[in-house]
Amino acid sequence: MKKKVNINEAVKYVINSKEEKFTLLGIGPMSENFLRASLEISKEKDFPIMYIASRNQVDSYELGGGYVFNSDQKLFVDKIKEIADEINFDNEYYICRDHGGPWQRDKERMDHLSVEKAMELAKQSYKEDILNGFDLLHIDPTKDPDEYCKVVDIDTVFDRTVELIEYCESVKKEYKITREIAYEVGTEETSGGLTSMDKYENFIIKLKDYLIAHDLPMPIFIVGQTGTLTRLTKNVGEFSFKNSLELSSISTKYGVGLKEHNGDYLSEAKLLSHLPLNITAMNVAPAFGTIETMALLELIEVEKEFYRNGMLSEMSNLETVITYKSVHSMKWKKWLTDEVDMSDLSNLDKKTQITITELCGHYTYSDPDVANEINRLNENLSSLKINGNRFVIEKLKEEMQKHVRCFNLEGLTTKIRSSL
């Protein structure tokens, strides 16, 4: 039986390693294919992986559920275990809540819930996370329902952060949960908040003093703004070597790992730089969804060719359905740049439709119409002896392999286990 490594041990090993440098990878779960791809490569390359589920992706059905195969916390955890058992997974994966907290579901923000109600629902969500075995909880009270309030006051962020950590620890005590639960604090917002070095360090100091005084656990990650910013299917931010090094120096001084968000679409040169900059972990989410959708669009082109040549009697309608659903999902709002005119959805040019589909297709996978057409596509390809699902899985693994290579992840789990 291989030694079990909890997430606190994994992060501490990475922070304290002197001989080698590593950057852990947090990935946004987009689909069942993606879960399979990530578990396979984690097993093959021997490294721990973090699944970072936002509240829009996975949440209690009472709160609206999630768009990732319509899952709540239990279904999500069970699905990962099911695939892991199927492939005889013998490595480590960690279930993480990404951006938990008040107004972190789109609907809660649009409904302009009161502070009291938003905090109540955030706690309800965290409770379900804890009861279903989540390993890490991101405490992020930096959202505000007021669209004109771009930045929540830092003192308010602190007060809500400690209130939510205290609540989560009280749930552990109430249900006699003895396993460790790790915490992550901070946000990737590019203005205000913890963007200055002084505020970043002062927040850590204040938080540490409070948590020690109240016998509460210190977070293992604090999010820092390294300059990354995801828009459309590219990273439009300016990754800052200087900021990254300063942030990591501050966080590790207090035994906390620097966590970078918005790591999508970075070049391999920038990925490689994470090691000497001591960035403990990086989150990647929409990029993997884009890879999967682009793979589906490639498969549609294969299907078209064989239909035109009379080797298929019918075609799926996936291209039309997933394009329509992506454009009308309105999920593109947070990812667009000023260069894209979305004022008239009914008259978008083909190029813009494709861009939006690549960007937002993953939000639609669990839509019954889209799911049905994906199945039809795969059935058509299967009749041609093409395994569409396997093609998608391998494309996802190819993308993840870049991070494994650049973050020095291969063999990391064995190294951590040997150190314990």
pLDDT at 235: 65
Question: What residues have CB less than 8 Å from 299, skipping those under 6 apart?
Answer: 377, 381, 386, 388, 391, 392
The C-alpha atoms of residue 97 and residue 55 are separated, in whole angstroms, by 8
Residue from 292, 225, 267, 261 nearest 403 by CA: 267
Q: What angle do CA 282, 186, 283 make, to 5 degrees?
A: 15
Instruction: Specify the 3-state DSSP secondary structure of 97.
Output: strand
Helix, strand or coil, per DSSP, at residue 240: coil
Q: What is the DSSP letter of 217?
A: P
Rounded Cα gap, residues 325 and 329, in angstroms: 6
pLDDT for residue 227: 78
Those residues whose C-beta lies under 8 Å from the C-beta of residue 233, and which sit 6 or more positions away, are 265, 286, 287, 290, 355, 358, 359
Q: What are the sequence ranges of the domains in the chain?
A: 7-286, 289-395
User: How far is Cα 247 from Cα 269, in angstroms, rounded to an integer?
Assistant: 20
- Average per-residue pLDDT for the chain: 92
Strand duo 182-185 + 221-223: pairing:
parallel
Q: Are 184 and 154 in contact (CB under 8 A)?
A: no
Q: 292: how many CB neighbours lie within 10 A of its CB?
A: 24
Distances, alpha carbon 391 to alpha carbons 292, 299, 382, 384, in Å: 10, 9, 12, 14
CA distance 264 to 274: 14
Q: What is the pLDDT of residue 195?
A: 55
Check residue 114 and give its pLDDT: 93
Report the distance separating Cα 28 and Cα 267, nearest Å. Answer: 19
Provide the pLDDT for residue 297: 98
End-to-end, the C-alpha distance of the chain in Å comes to: 14
Tens digit of pLDDT for each residue in 147-204?
Answer: 555 678 888 999 999 999 999 999 999 999 999 999 999 875 544 445 578 888 999 9
Q: CB-based burial of residue 98 (10 Å sphere; 0-12 exposed, 13-18 middle, 19+ buried)?
A: buried
Q: What CA–CA distance (Å, rounded) separates 188 from 291?
A: 23
Distances (CA, A) of 121 to 57, 104, 187, 316: 16, 10, 20, 41
> Looking at residue 256, what is its pLDDT?
96
pLDDT score, position 198: 83
* pLDDT computed for residue 336 by the predictor: 72
- Closest-CA residue to 109 (of 287, 326, 333): 333
Cα–Cα distance measured from residue 295 to residue 256, given in angstroms and rounded to the nearest whole number: 38
Backbone angles phi, psi at 262, to 5 degrees: 60, 40
- Stretches in the chain below the pLDDT threshold 70: 1, 147-150, 188-195, 230-237, 337-339
* C-beta separation of 242 from 368 below 8 A: no
Q: What pLDDT is recorded for position 341?
A: 75
Stated pTM of the model: 0.93
pLDDT at 191: 43
- CATH number of 7-286, picked from 3.20.20.70, 3.40.50.300, 3.30.70.60, 3.60.20.10: 3.20.20.70
Crossing angle of helices 154-174 and 197-213, in 10° steps, is 30
Query: Residue 166 has what pLDDT?
Result: 98
d(CA 318, CA 303): 11
